[in-house]
Amino acid sequence: MMRSRSEHLQWCKDRALEYWRAGDLTNAIMSMGADLEKHDETHCDPYMLMLGGMYATSRDSDGVKRWIEGFR
């Protein structure tokens, strides 16, 4: 059974934040981007993914967390 949009979005955030808590910023971003694509109503604009990648590349942990939590 397919999750609702809000359920799926929370699932994406929860999984990405697991990577974030482990200090794996790159996989936090990649997880969020990949998981968003798994639902018809949640897709990640490529430019948003690039922004998240910039936070990860610069080792901006707070920026990565804000990026993940900012999806609505």
Per-residue pLDDT of the chain (72 residues; tens, 9 = 90+): 689 999 999 999 999 999 999 999 999 999 999 999 999 999 999 999 999 999 999 999 999 999 999 999
User: According to the model, what pLDDT value does residue 71 have?
Assistant: 96
* pTM assigned to the model: 0.93
Q: Is 42 helix (H, G, I), strand (E, B) or coil?
A: strand
HSE of 7 in the Cβ direction (CA atoms, 13 Å)?
A: 4
For 61, the token pair is: 């942990």
